[in-house]
Amino acid sequence: MSRGGSGGRTRVLTARGRTAASTRWLERQLNDPYVRRAKAEGYRSRAAYKLLELDERFGLLKGVDRVIDLGVAPGGWAQVVKRRRSQATVVGIDLLPVDPIEGVTLFQLDFMDDRAPELLSEALGGPADLVMSDMAANTVGHPQTDHLRTMGLVEAGVEFACEVLRPGGAFVAKVLAGGADAGLVAQLKRAFTTVKHAKPPASRKDSSEWYVIAQGFKGRAAPPKTDTTD
């Protein structure tokens, strides 16, 4: 049950069986302008506006024809791509089920599964222009552990992106407070011409999430030549 509060804010009344934490979460959702906007504009989640704001700042979706969405559920980012680039081939993967999105190929599978890279590459049908990742590991409540688990997913995403991106392509991924660690940033700078961190306005101020944006993929390094001389 809810009722209007002062200034038009919706207050959620405590209900039997509802915890204080769930009451606070529901109240925040009801008063979140991005949640209301997503519902009005047909996006599956407020996260869609994070990608829209990152695109506005970095031009991530300009001219893209092939896009891979890692951690696609519930599908807001894939929706944004298809609305901005209706002819683009979009392939998404998530451990969670995702309702069908017109024009998007979806796989319900753990990205860390050995089969995932080949399935995604085959479905894409060519080099990717953009690999985007909104993946985050399930939190255990221990900040250092949560950070390490999420960064492990980001590192796997970077390795995959460097296998499938075309020269000039881009990679964007969610990281936690503090951004990508020094080793990962160094790896990205070797593979991309620009690497930046950003916190889009749609990301809640009290959230620890940031995004790393790597653009201008330099291409896969050529394997070292084998010396065939005696």
Domains and CATH numbers, the chain: 11-39 (no CATH), 45-217 (3.40.50.150)
Reference 172, options 216, 139, 137; nearest CA is: 216
Taking the C-alpha atoms of residue 25 and residue 10, their distance in angstroms, rounded to an integer, is: 12
Task: Identify the band that residue 207 occupies on the pLDDT scale cut at 50, 70 and 90.
Answer: confident
- Each residue of 90-147: pLDDT tens digit? 999 999 999 999 999 999 999 999 999 999 999 999 999 999 999 977 766 666 776 7
Question: Which residues are registered as beta bridge partners of 92?
Answer: 69, 106
The one-letter amino acid at 152? G
pLDDT at 26 over 70: no
Active-site residue set:
174
Stretch 194-214: mean pLDDT, rounded? 90
Q: Within 13 Å of residue 57, how many CA atoms lie on the same side as its CB?
A: 17
Query: What's the chain's average pLDDT?
Result: 85
Q: What's the rounded mean pLDDT across residues 147-164?
A: 90
Contact 184, 133 (CB under 8 A): no
Residue 173 and residue 211 in contact, taking contact as beta carbons nearer than 8 Å = yes
Q: Which residue has the higher pLDDT, 147 or 166?
A: 166
Mapping DSSP to helix (H, G, I), strand (E, B) and coil, where does residue 67 land?
Answer: strand
Residue 67's pLDDT is: 98
| Residue 86 to residue 132: CA distance in whole angstroms | 17
Binding residues: 75, 77, 94, 110, 134
Phi-psi region of 82 (alpha: psi -120 to 50; beta: other; left: phi over 0): alpha
Residue numbers belonging to the annotated binding site for S-adenosyl-L-methionine = 75, 77, 94, 110, 134
Instruction: Give the pLDDT confidence score for residue 230 in this predicted structure.
Output: 46
